[in-house]
Amino acid sequence: MAQLPKSAAYYNLRDVLDTGPANGSRTCPVCHLISKSVTRYLDSLLYELVNDPGVRQEIRDARGFCNEHAWQLQKLGGALGIGIIYRDVIETVVKFIRQGKYRRTQLLSRQRLQEALSGDQPAAATADLVAVLEPQGTCPACRQRHIMENVYLGTLLEHLDDEHLASALRTSAGLCLPHFRQALQLVQDEPTFQRLVEVQLACLERLDGELSELVRKHDYRFAGEGFGAEGDSWIRAIAQVSGQEGIR
Q: Which of 24, 64, 81, 243 binds Zn ion (CB under 5 A)?
A: 243
- Cβ closer to Zn ion: 31 or 217? 31
Q: With CB under 5 A as the contact rule, which of the stretches 78-86, 125-133, 215-223, 238-246 interacts with Zn ion?
A: 238-246
- Cβ closer to Zn ion: 111 or 242? 242
Q: How far is the CB of 66 from Zn ion (least distance, A)?
A: 3
Contact partners, residue 19, CB within 8 Å, separation at least 6: 25
Q: How far is the CB of 62 from Zn ion (least distance, A)?
A: 8
- Cβ closer to Zn ion: 66 or 84? 66
Residues 153-192, interacting with Zn ion (CB under 5 A): 176, 179
Q: 41-57: string of b/e by CB count within 10 Å (b at 16+)? A: bbeebbeebbeeeeebe
Residue type, 204: L
- Cβ closer to Zn ion: 7 or 182? 182
Q: How far is CA 74 from the centre of its chain?
A: 18
**Binding residue count for Zn ion, defined by CB under 5 A:** 11
What ranges in 26-139 are assigned the alpha helix state H?
Answer: 29-47, 53-61, 67-76, 79-99, 110-118, 127-133
- What count of other Cβ atoms lies within 10 Å of the Cβ of residue 152? 25
Does 217 bind Zn ion (CB under 5 A)? Our answer is no
Q: How far is the CB of 32 from Zn ion (least distance, A)?
A: 8
- Contact letters (x/-) for Zn ion, 1-40, by CB under 5 A? ---------------------------x-xx---------
Residues 42-101, interacting with Zn ion (CB under 5 A): 66, 69
- Cβ closer to Zn ion: 38 or 213? 38
- Cβ closer to Zn ion: 133 or 142? 142
- Cβ closer to Zn ion: 140 or 217? 140
Contact 47, 78 (CB under 8 A): yes
Kindly state the greatest CA–CA separation across the chain. Answer: 74
What are the distances in angstroms from CA 151 to CA 28, 57, 98?
Answer: 15, 25, 42
User: Treating both helix axes as pointing N-terminal to C-terminal, what angle do 67-76 and 140-158 enclose, rounded to 10 degrees?
Assistant: 100
Q: Which of 234, 215, 235 is nearest to 225 (CA)?
A: 215
- Contact letters (x/-) for Zn ion, 124-143, by CB under 5 A? ---------------x-xx-
Q: How far is the CB of 31 from Zn ion (least distance, A)?
A: 3
Q: Tell me how far apart the alpha carbons of residues 186 and 183 are, in angstroms, rounded to a whole number.
A: 5
Q: Applying CB under 5 A, which residues contact Zn ion?
A: 28, 30-31, 66, 69, 139, 141-142, 176, 179, 243
